[in-house]
Structure 1
Amino acid sequence: MFEKLANFPDPVPGNENHYMPFKEIYGKETDEKHRPSLKSKSNNNTTDSNDLQRVIKIIRPL
């Protein structure tokens, strides 16, 4: 039974800020470009960097 299952697809953007329906992408080749957890990590790194810059300015004002 499990041999017949395809890999679970990665999220693919659709219309109006929604992901495409599962039934439309199941069994098709996808990539991780739009995976929410990867976007969160890149956003967190940017936020951490910005927060660090603010702390430095508070400690050593111009």
Structure 2
Amino acid sequence: MQIPKDTVLEMIKGQGDPDKAARAEAELPDQIDTVEHRDVLAEYGVEPSDLAGDPGNTLGI
């Protein structure tokens, strides 16, 4: 699944760590593949299942 970087950045910013969000903004590509970038997402505390439209997903995607 392809996710826009902005969606992931909002999730990281919601964790309350602006330094982590700034690092992610510089490191992540514009479109994030949840399979290909699974390890990078995990480094930022983002689970691909959180982005995949799970019932508990607060992003609404």
TM-score for the superposition, normalised by structure 2: 0.23
Structure of greater Rg = 1
Q: Which has the higher contact order (CA 8 A, sep 6+)?
A: 2
